[in-house]
Amino acid sequence: MAAQTLKEGLHAAKAEFVARLVAVLVDRTDLSQKQIGRDFGVSESFVKKAARRFAVPRRKRGPKPKRYTALEPKGRPR
């Protein structure tokens, strides 16, 4: 009976920890998942799994796509 209470307590503590982790993921988009994991003392894969589980959107990276119009030729101007 005491083991069941301990198990429930561990689940509640983990759920609270993951909720705080997800809140930071949503609020601090300037930090990478690796940095957040380092701050919380967990691995980057744990942070990625929590983000995937709670459908946290990823921040966009890389260059913005350039849009070409039909009248504008692709490539260098002559």
Average pLDDT over residues 9-25: 93
pLDDT at position 39 is 94
Other beta carbons less than 10 A from residue 22's beta carbon: 17
43: which 2 tokens?
């691995």
- Rounded Cα–Cα distance for residues 70 and 33 (Å): 40
12: which 2 tokens?
């509640």
pLDDT at position 30 is 87
pLDDT at position 73 is 60
